[in-house]
Amino acid sequence: MEGCKVTNSTITSTTELVNGEWDNGDKAGGIVGYLSPNDKVLNCIVGGNTTIKGIS
């Protein structure tokens, strides 16, 4: 992923059923919530009035 921008947003992570098991909802992020080791994020910005809410 490259050159993306998130501004003035609310991002909320919730629990969901994944492969028959419940994910705990802790993967919240301004651009992505989770990356595998080979994924890359380049030149992206999260700004403005952005709120990110995850479940811990």
Tell the residue number behind the tokens 């990356």, with chain if given: 35
Q: Which structural domain range is residue 32 located in?
A: 5-53
The answer to whether 42 and 20 are in contact (CB under 8 A) is: no
Look at the chain and report how many structural domains it folds into. Answer: 1
Indicate yes or no: pTM above 0.75.
no
Kindly give the confidence (pLDDT) of every residue in the chain, 56 residues in length, as a single tens digit, with 9 standing for 90 and above.
899 999 999 988 888 888 998 887 777 888 888 888 999 999 999 999 998 888 76
Classified as helix, coil or strand, 49 is coil
Taking the C-alpha atoms of residue 21 and residue 31, their distance in angstroms, rounded to an integer, is 25
The phi-psi region of residue 25 (left if phi > 0; otherwise alpha if psi is between -120 and 50; otherwise beta) is: left
